[in-house]
Amino acid sequence: MERDQHELYETARRRIRQKKRLYYHFVLLTLGSLFLFISTKIFNTTINTSWYIWIITLWVFIFILHFIKVFITDRFMNKNWERDQIDRLVALQQKKIAELQSKTAEDLPNKLETE
C-alpha cells in the first residue's frame, strides 16, 4: 500500500473509531438515564428525588462536548488544516526574512557611503 493511501486509510479508520465511540456514548447515556429515572421511581427514595436530573444533565453536557469534538473540532482542525497553518506561518516568516534582507542590503551601501 502506498504511503498516501495508507495515510488516507488511517485517517478514515480514526474517524470511524471516533464516531463509533460517540454512538456508544449516546447509547450508554440513553440507557443510563432511563435506568436512573426508573430506579428512582421504583425505589422512591426519601431523599430529594431530583438528584438523578442533575446527573443526567451533567452527562448530557459531557456528551455535547464529545459531539462537538468529533463532528466540529476534529472535522475542521485535522492534519490537513494543521499542515496548511504551518505552511502559511512558514511563508509569512520567509517573507519577513526576505524583507529584512532586502532592507539590510539597501541600508548597507548607504551606511558605507556615509563613513
13 and 67 part of one domain: yes
Alpha-carbon distance of 28 to 62, in angstroms, equals 12
Q: The C-alpha cell of 29 is what?
A: 447515556
62 and 84 part of one domain: no
Give how far Cα 69 sits from Cα of 38, 78, 106, Å.
31, 11, 50
Q: Which whole number is the average pLDDT over 7-34? A: 91
Q: What is the per-residue pLDDT for 86? A: 87
Structure confidence at residue 60 as a pLDDT band (50, 70, 90)? very high
The more confidently predicted of residues 81 and 47 is 81
88 and 68 part of one domain: no
The more confidently predicted of residues 59 and 104 is 59
**Boundaries of domain holding 85:** 79-115
